Amino acid sequence: MSTRWYFGDHVNGWRIWGGKSRVAHLVWDRFGNVPNYVEPFAGSLAVLLARPHPPGTETVNDLDCYLANFWRAIRFNPATTAAWADWPVNEADLHARHQWLVNQKEFRERMKSDPEYYDCRVAGWWVWGLCQWIGSGWCPASTLGECGDGDQPRNLPHLGDAGMGINRQLPHLGDAGRGEHIAAYFKALSDRLRNVRVCCGSWNRVIGDSPTIKHGITGVFLDPPYSDDADRADLYSAEDFSVAHDVREWAIANGDNPLLRIALCGYEGEHAMPDTWEAVAWKARGGYGSQGEGRGRANASRERIWFSPHCLKLPSLFASHDAQPEQSTTRLPHGSDIDACK
């Protein structure tokens, strides 16, 4: 199984964050304009928002009820959600709102039982606090015990490009400004998500035949929590290890289905995939992978995406490299540098 290296960056007209925004175009190169797209671990929706084609049928899901609620609220009522999110930063409100959100047990129960339920106040306060909170622990699912996948680093939405935690002054949209700009951006997101189904539950509820191949050729983007094979036991719980293992097993079992184009994310050495799968190596810019000078920084170069056999193939630019001991770099039409290696 060959490995290709990608060091470029790509954003398809959206102010989106999350590590996978840098390689979203590689996913769409291999998925093509599929009539159906499923994302069982929604996170920041970086890949969906970077889609270069007119959207078809699209389903996203996340076990974290606060995250799923945010995307539902954005889809159905962006103006009210923006109003709740537009508030000056102060520590007293930050801790008070965090406590209020954690105490919303009825909200969490409704999210699990009602596929159309959302709460704009919860969504606005949640993303407002997420932009300011230092480190992990904002509405941690590990302490709630009812929804979510633990108190873990995630690719989550936020409202600006100036960093998080103490670097933030007001929830805003990067250089675009504050206040009314939040409403305008949320409205644009809502327009994009108009026909996207947002689910809240276990990942395996959205990868059966009904939400996938019954709609035709389906692209499935899998970005599960890291497994124990990724050497990240300090950050992830036993439940996360099991999820990553189950996701890998599903991907291998379904990878030969001609109606499925699957992309599986992970770390080098985390997933032992069949030789018929293509591995693409890329270097993360932000998050845990780039922290410090030790293991965290080294991890930035360990990111991998594995593509199933029926994904589209890029032009065979690397065939001649198999006999060469050294890496070489080829310029793709995107303007991204990719190194091919065995």
- Provide the residue ranges of all domains of the chain, joining segments of one domain with +: 1-63+202-342, 66-195
Residue the block writes with tokens 């991907």: 251
pTM of the model: 0.77
β-pair partners for 230: none
> Between 2.40.30, 3.30.70, 3.40.50, 1.10.860, what CATH number should domain 1-63+202-342 receive?
3.40.50
β-pair partners for 263: 221, 307
CA angle at 200 for the pair 198 and 202, rounded to the nearest 5°: 125
β-pair partners for 231: none
Q: How far apart are CA 297 and CA 289, in angstroms?
A: 5
pLDDT for the residue 300? 57
Residues of the chain whose pLDDT is less than 70?
1-19, 141-180, 226-241, 284-301, 316-342
